[in-house]
Structures are given as structure tokens and as C-alpha cells.
Structure 1
Amino acid sequence: MNGFPRLARQTLTIARRDFVATVFTPTFLLFLLAPLMMLAFGTVGGLGAATMAKSADTQSRIVMIAEGETATRVVALDRQLRRLFRVVEQPPKLIVAAPSADPERQARALFADSGVDTYAVLYGPLERPSILHVENGPRSAEYLAELASQVLRAQRAGTDAPLSEATKTVITRTGTSASGQGQAAFFTVFALFIVSLMLAGQVVGTMAEERSNKVIEILAAAVPLESVFFGKLLGMFGVAVLFLVFWGTVVIGLGSNAASVMPARLASELATVGPAVGFIPYALLFFAYFVMAYMLLGAVFLGLGAQAGTQRELQMMSLPITIFQVAMFGLAAVAAGSPDSWLATAAELFPFSSPFAMAARAANSPELWRHFAALAWQALWVVITVSIAARLFRRGVLQSGSPKLWRRKAATTA
């Protein structure tokens, strides 16, 4: 068996060896369950942040100094205006205080209360009110100014009731919206970044381990280094696919049950979020771009890890690797937000950000021809990257390989 079939057989042999050596170990179970630990820590942090936010909301206020009929109308109109805001965007709780002999002094004294955060206080005649506010409370001051204007209108109209009653009819969208496609694009980039961050980084230590126990020299003597690199990349990719199949099954199972208990409003909002190419082509393209992202980043990390001679050198490489991944995520995220910009085109052409940017393109645009060209372009760069990594390892670590061009010419001349 010669040529490509032999190279493929050697590559698959290395891939099977690395796959079995990784999966059939107790530590793989910890790796498989790592998202549960991340979810647990994230839940604890989220609950803590929510508790702090809720505590801050209950300890903040805005104050309007008014009395009598004016105070009654302030409360009624405040209730009407708050319906214009989402719950998380509403102004702080409004307190209506009766005026003292010196309203200005009373207003300033309200900010001295250390038990509650006062953002803004309005006092004086509503035609020309005075508003005191802290540095981070200009929106609260604007809200109090608008509330004073509405109270004056209500006084002149002689009623607090709305002057018009609109008939509101809910329209259900039949497909995804433009904003929903943008949200799907960002989610696509984020999901690819997370799985590549968790899985592609595992490739870094494989070559370093082989170097430390001298196994790489035996493998290099038996098969070409390109087969060793491709085999290790395929073996770790098999581990990544096993990880995704396990968690994909879990997420699909939980998602099907969650859909039945999901609030109707949330379900209708999620219905507007979706990819422009359709869900089935999107799922196929997402997997294809995950393969390319893993192979491209994995090839880079494999080449870097092959240059590390010690665990200390390997640890020092973790920061540049993480920065590189975050940079690719940032570039693709910008491309997802501006799909027709020159930056998006650059992200789609740069091979290591191309899988992320093109996956976002699948969510933003219904065109399919670009994806076939992009996948071929990315596959070419996988081959180039692995070949460069193998050559650098052969020359820099094994100190072997063909002589340089000027040495070959000198030998021929002699």
C-alpha cells in the first residue's frame, strides 16, 4: 500500500491511539462533566449578583416634594408613566414628601440619609421646579421633570385619566425578524467560541506529553510527522465530538421539556430568533464550521505545544493561546453585528476567524454559495497549518529534515 492510502491508514492509527488513550481514563469523566461545574459556579454567581441588584433596588429612591391634590396626581401619573418602561429599566421608587418650611434644605437633607440612596429630589412650583440629583442620577432627574410636566397637563385638563384609549392588537410574526437573526448570529459566534475554548485547547498538551516520554521519536521513525500531527488532531477531534454528542443529547432533552412550561410571551419572543438560512442548513453549517474551527485552532495549538519542552513552557503558552482565541471571538462578534462591513469581509477571509464569522453569516444572510467556498478555503488552511507545524517540529525539535536550499546548492557545486 503506497501513497495516500498508506498515509491515511497511518493517520487513522495515530488517531485511534490518541482517542482510546484519552477517553478510557478516569480523568475523562471529569472533563465530560466540567460544564456542570461551570454551570454551578455560574448559578451561584448569578444568584449573588441578583441578590445584590435586588438589594440596591429596594434601597434607592427618587423624591418629589408636594402635597394635597398635587401629591395625589403625582402618584397616579407615576403609575401610568412606569408602564412605558421594562421592569429592569424603571426609575427608582418614587416617594412623595410633604414640604417643610424650607423645601430646599429639606431636599438637601434627603441626600444625607445613609440608609437609602436618593438619586434625585424635585421641589418648588411645578411651572419652574428645582431638581437636585447625584452625579449618576441624570435620568432620574429627567423623569421627575417629565412627571412634573404631566402633572401640570392633568391639572389644566381637570383629570388624571388618559385623554385617549388605544385599541391594541397583538400580531404574531410568521418568521424570524432582522433583530432575531442578529441575535442568532451573536449566539452562533459565542457558542462556537465556548466549545472551541473548552475543546481545542486540549490539543496543546498532547505533543508535549509525547516529547517528555520519548514516544514521539518512535512515532516519527515509524510514520511521517504529518501523519502524526493529523492523527493526533483527528483523535482529539473524536474526543470533542463525543463531548458534544453527550451534552447535545442532554440539552435537547431538557429543551423539549422546557418548551412545554415556558411562558407564552417568552416563547413568542424566541420564535422571532432564528437563522436566515433555515434551521436544518444552519445546523449542518454550524457543525461544519465547528469542525473547521477545531481543526484550525487545534492545528495551531498542536504546533505550539510541540515546541514546548517542559510543563512550564506549556503553561506559559496558555495565556497567548487564550488571547488568540478571544481575539478571534471579538473579530467575529464585530462581523456578526455588521455583516456587510469591510471588517466582516476581513474576518471571513482570515482563516482562523473565518469559521466564526461565516457561521454568523449563516444566521444573517440566506446565501449558501459563500459557505462552500469558505469551507474549502478553511480546509486548505488546515492542511497548510499542520504541514507548517510538522516541518517546524522536524527542524526545531528533532533536528532533522532536508538541508536548506543554499546548502543543497553548495553540495551540488562541490
Structure 2
Amino acid sequence: MSDHDQAAIDARPRLSRLEAAWVIARRDFVAVLFSRAFLFFLVGPLFPVLVGGLAGSVGGQVSRSAVTTEIGLAMQADDSAAMIAAAETLRPQLGRSIPSMSVIPEARGEANFDARAFVNERRGNYAAVVTGTLAAPEVVGTQGQIDRWSGPIELVAATALQTSPGTFPSSSSSVVARSAASERTNRIRTAQASQMVLFLLTMLLAGMVLSNLAEEKGNKIIEILAAALPMDAVFMGKLFAMLGVSFVGIAVWGALGWSFWALAEDAIVVVTQTDFRSLPGPAVGWPMFLLFGIIYFSMAYLLLGALFLAIGAMAETVREVQTMSMPVTMMQLMVFFLAAYTITLPGSALETFAILFPLSSPFAMLARAALDETLWVHIAAVAWQAVAAFLLIKAGSLLFRKRVMKSGGAGRDTKKRRLFNRSPAQQSSIEPAE
């Protein structure tokens, strides 16, 4: 090669870091997305979900067969006894259509018993509470429970009154709105469920980064890329490629789940006796909460993936990569437990630590979105998580340059270039070692 050609090659503009990261991201995204392994990866998690769904269905059927719904009675002693006797009379013919009834212990002898407050506080395991008289019973409970049990309760009251066939007393209803305590409880459940989903998706999908790095490190492709492009751009491209592949996988699973729900919604609502559309939303509202879920999944994936890449930079062999990743997986499990524990400790020093520690920050902040409507803290948290992910990527690239490129291919290539640049007389003077 002439000096002119070498100068022309050296004068070619090099790719910027963003352009290099885009090239790597596009390469890895297409290579992984159209591989057979990714197809099996998509199908793999569906089998545990199917088995879990069948097991849950069987367990739910057994539970519904073993547990009976109970209605609390807060009526006069004679009326309560007549209702219980009438229910026992009708049950052999109507089965579970007639609920079990019992007198509420707190209502005995209480003339001014507040049934609404009793149901709001959930002080008993009752589906609804019946007050009033046999001629005019009043059902106190949520709208769903009132719609379900008003008819059977009227039938039981009519039997207790021994009215003529076809004549039933008319019952009134009192709908109980959710109290602040019950809304807080439901939001805590939403926070716990969102943290669990975020943790499972992150651990399931972040492993693709490690497997991809281990494969390319074994066949020396990563060293070729590192010699041609900035290493931090290579790492960043790989992370965002795997993040894009993860979103494709989530979209496929979500579409399948949505299709299943659309086909079996009525059956699911009947089986669980719950209309999920009536559940209270998180503090920031469902649209914003879903947006935060996408953002915090991305941040958790980038942070954990950058940590996996740093581990790959420190490891010398593929076996070391897999061995060193196990402590990180266990640490991430501890981080998840930390974030889950701080749900009930808002404003505490432990929650502040969970928010500031990068690996637990996405989990803690997603739970806060379910419990607190303040939005500005999420902007600060996402900015901090992005900075932490960038620092981890930078540290991993520096470690790779130091441990792999220097001790591996780069050092040997430098020696070869020095040898080939010697004159023939100098090369002939080099004798092999004895």
C-alpha cells in the first residue's frame, strides 16, 4: 500500500459515538430479532404461564368449592333468627345461590349499629351486611355485591315472612364508596404488582445482553468491533439493541395476553368475581403510570445490562462471564426486596436510599408513582438513572479496553506490527528461543 493510499484511508471521517452506537444497535437488533433462538425465547415463557394458569384455575375451583360467601346480619334478634332459618330451608334446593348468614357479633344489642362504617373498615369477612326489617331489608355493600345478593336476600326475607307465593318484600340498598384506607390498600397492591412485573421482565430479558456478549467474546467478534469503534459506543449500541428486542418480546406477549382477555373477559370476571375496570387507579392515573412503567423498565434494563457488560469486560472466558453474573443476579434480588420493603415506609431514610441507589431506583420510583401523585421527582429520578447507566457503560468500556484489548489481541497485534516493520536484516537477526 502506497503512502498516498494510507493517507487517504487515514483522512476518511470516523464515525461519531452516536453513529457508531446506531450501527451496532441496528446490527444486533436485526441479527437477534430474525434468529431462531429469539423465536424459541418468545415461546418459552408461555409454557410456565399456561401451566400456572391451569394450576390457578384448578386451585380457584377447589377454593370456591370449599369457601362459602357469608352475609352479615345486623337486624333485630328475632328477624336475624328468622333469616338464618329461612336460608337453611332454601339452601338444599338452591345450593350456593343462597349465601350463608350469621349475626354480626358487634351488632348484638347495638341499636345504633353503623353498618356502612363496619363494611368500610372491613372488620369482618362479609360480602355484605343486611339491616332493616324482614318487610324492608337493606343491603349494605359494594355495588357488585348488592347486585349479586339483593335477589337472594329478598327471597330469604320472603320465606322468613311466610308470604304468599310470588310476593316478595322490596329491599333497599346502600352503596358503600371506597374509603381512604381501602384506596390506600389497593394502591399498595398496585405498587407491589408493578414492582414484581418490572423485576421479572428485567431479569428475564436482561440475560440476553450477557448471552450476546459471551457469544461474541468467545468468537473474538467483540475485539474486532472494539478495534474499529469506540468501546463505549459498542456497549451502548448493544444495550439499546437488546432493549429494542425486549420491547418486541413484551409487545408480542402483551398482544397475546390482550387477545386472551378479549376472548375470555366475561369468564375471567365471573371466575374471579371482580371487575378489574372498577379498581382504583394509581395516584398518577393509569396513562401516566403506564408511561412511567415503560420508562423505568428501560432504565432498569439499561442499568442491569450495563452492569452485565462490565462483568463481561472483567471476565477472561465465557465460563467466567456466566459465573460472575450469578452474584449480580442475587444482588438484584436483594435490591428488589429492598424496594418492596420501602413501599410501606414513605419518606423514611431507607426509602431515600432505595431511590438514590441506581439499581433499586426504578423499582422504588415506580411504586411511588402508584402511591404519590407528585411528578417532578420522577424527572429527577430518571435523569439520575440515565447518568448512572452512562457511568456504568463508560466504566465497562474502560475495563474492556484495559483487560481484554491490552492483554489479548491489541498487545499481540502491536508486537506483530513492530516485527513486520523491521528491515530484512533486523528480522533475520531475531533467532527463535531455545
Alpha-carbon shift at residue 333 of structure 1 (Å): 0.7
2:314 alignment partner, one of 299, 307, 311: 307
Alpha-carbon shift at residue 190 of structure 1 (Å): 0.7
Matched, 1:294 2:301: yes
Structure 2 length normalisation: TM-score?
Answer: 0.63
Alpha-carbon shift at residue 338 of structure 1 (Å): 2.4
Measure, in 2, the Cα distance between the counterparts of 1:7 and 1:17: 15
Alpha-carbon shift at residue 302 of structure 1 (Å): 1.7
Aligned match of 2:396: 389
Matched, 1:27 2:37: yes
Q: How many aligned positions are there?
A: 309
Aligned match of 2:183: 177
Question: SS state of the match for residue 352, structure 1?
Answer: coil
Alpha-carbon shift at residue 168 of structure 1 (Å): 6.0
C-alpha offsets along residues 242-298 of structure 1, whole Å, 9 cap, x if unaligned? 111112222233334444442498445762342100111111111111110110111
Aligned match of 2:16: 6
Which moved further from structure 2: 277-286 or 339-348? 339-348
Q: How does 1:8-407 map to 2 (within 5 A)?
A: 8-43=18-53, 45-46=55-56, 80-81=101-102, 85=125, 169-173=174-178, 177-261=183-267, 262-263=269-270, 266-268=273-275, 271-399=278-406
2:209–2:308 Cα contact (<8 Å) kept: yes
Alpha-carbon shift at residue 45 of structure 1 (Å): 5.0
Measure, in 2, the Cα distance between the counterparts of 1:315 and 1:363: 35
2:218–2:318 Cα contact (<8 Å) kept: no
Measure, in 2, the Cα distance between the counterparts of 1:85 and 1:283: 33
Question: SS state of the match for residue 367, structure 1?
Answer: coil
Measure, in 1, the Cα distance between the counterparts of 2:212 and 2:49: 27
1:290–1:355 Cα contact (<8 Å) kept: yes
Measure, in 2, the Cα distance between the counterparts of 1:39 and 1:82: 42
- Name the aligned partner's letter for residue 169 of structure 1: S
1:208–1:306 Cα contact (<8 Å) kept: no
Q: 1:400 to 1:318 in 2, by over 3 A?
A: closer
Which moved further from structure 2: 12-21 or 339-348? 339-348
- Name the aligned partner's letter for residue 238 of structure 1: G
Q: 1:283 to 1:380 in 2, by over 3 A?
A: same
Question: SS state of the match for residue 405, structure 2?
Answer: coil
- Name the aligned partner's letter for residue 292 of structure 2: L
Which consecutive unaligned segments of at least 5 residues does structure 2 have?
1-11, 68-80, 89-99, 105-123, 128-170, 409-434
Measure, in 1, the Cα distance between the counterparts of 2:289 and 2:216: 38
2:239–2:302 Cα contact (<8 Å) kept: yes
C-alpha offsets along residues 101-137 of structure 1, whole Å, 9 cap, x if unaligned? xxxxxxxxxxxxxxxxxxxxxxxxxxxxxxxxxxxxx
Which consecutive unaligned segments of at least 5 residues does structure 1 have?
59-71, 88-165, 402-414
1:7–1:227 Cα contact (<8 Å) kept: yes
Which moved further from structure 2: 184-193 or 321-330? 321-330
C-alpha offsets along residues 342-397 of structure 1, whole Å, 9 cap, x if unaligned? 21111111111101110111000000000000010000001100000111111122
Measure, in 2, the Cα distance between the counterparts of 1:82 and 1:243: 53
Measure, in 2, the Cα distance between the counterparts of 1:53 and 1:365: 35
Q: 1:387 to 1:313 in 2, by over 3 A?
A: same
Measure, in 1, the Cα distance between the counterparts of 2:103 and 2:222: 68
Q: 1:86 to 1:270 in 2, by over 3 A?
A: farther
C-alpha offsets along residues 288-344 of structure 1, whole Å, 9 cap, x if unaligned? 111101101111012113333334323323431321221121111112232332211
Which of structures 1 and 2 has the bigger CA Rg? 2
1:275–1:364 Cα contact (<8 Å) kept: yes
- Name the aligned partner's letter for residue 170 of structure 1: V
Question: SS state of the match for residue 397, structure 1?
Answer: helix
Aligned match of 1:69: none
1:205–1:314 Cα contact (<8 Å) kept: no
Percent of aligned positions with the same letter in both sequences?
Answer: 39
What value does the CA root-mean-square deviation take over the aligned residues?
3.6
Aligned match of 2:144: none
- Name the aligned partner's letter for residue 336 of structure 2: F
Question: SS state of the match for residue 169, structure 1?
Answer: strand
Which moved further from structure 2: 194-203 or 308-317? 308-317
2:25–2:238 Cα contact (<8 Å) kept: yes
Measure, in 2, the Cα distance between the counterparts of 1:82 and 1:202: 58
Alpha-carbon shift at residue 81 of structure 1 (Å): 4.5
Which moved further from structure 2: 45-54 or 249-258? 45-54
Q: 1:322 to 1:42 in 2, by over 3 A?
A: farther
Question: SS state of the match for residue 282, structure 2?
Answer: coil
Structure 1 length normalisation: TM-score?
Answer: 0.66
Q: 1:312 to 1:48 in 2, by over 3 A?
A: farther
Q: 1:322 to 1:397 in 2, by over 3 A?
A: same
C-alpha offsets along residues 4-42 of structure 1, whole Å, 9 cap, x if unaligned? x72111111111111122111111111011221121332
Q: 1:246 to 1:47 in 2, by over 3 A?
A: closer
Measure, in 1, the Cα distance between the counterparts of 2:57 and 2:317: 41
Measure, in 2, the Cα distance between the counterparts of 1:247 and 1:333: 25
Q: 1:335 to 1:18 in 2, by over 3 A?
A: same
Aligned match of 1:154: none
